[in-house]
Structure 1
Amino acid sequence: MVELSNKAAFVLVLVSGIVVPGVLNYVASVILGQPLLGRAVWVLGYTGMVLVVWYVWLRPLDFTGPERGPEEAERKVKD
């Protein structure tokens, strides 16, 4: 099986999370005449994509700034 790079997997998740629910929304709304079903499919698909992106790529990130030691903090206050 072919392994995807991290960027390729990210793009694949984004495209499939937008295109697939959008097409299914169109099919359910226009072709089947069920706009509520189409809207539900789109919302669930898009939300699922957002959750996957958060869980796989955003959750592991560490958004903290650099830690300063006590000497640097005192120097900053004196300057």
Structure 2
Amino acid sequence: MARKKHTPSFEQQLECLQQQVERLESGTLPLEEALECFEQGIRLIKECQSLLSQAEQRIQTLTQPMTSSSAPKGVSDSEHD
């Protein structure tokens, strides 16, 4: 059976990004290693932005006001208040 690829959580990716920033800010990395670190940081930023967008969409979906077509049968709009 094939294993699912483990996707790190938002928090794990953010922690990794912070580590990359610290490495770059140290100023001790050789140029090539600094570029690789920067590239990884950019990938992490994009992934974190994607996860945040997904979370925002979920929140918007959950907090949308219920319309009369989505209300359970037998529940009128006046009962929502």
Asked if TM exceeds 0.5, the reply is no
> When the two structures are superposed, what TM-score results if normalisation uses the length of structure 2?
0.44
> When the two structures are superposed, what TM-score results if normalisation uses the length of structure 1?
0.45
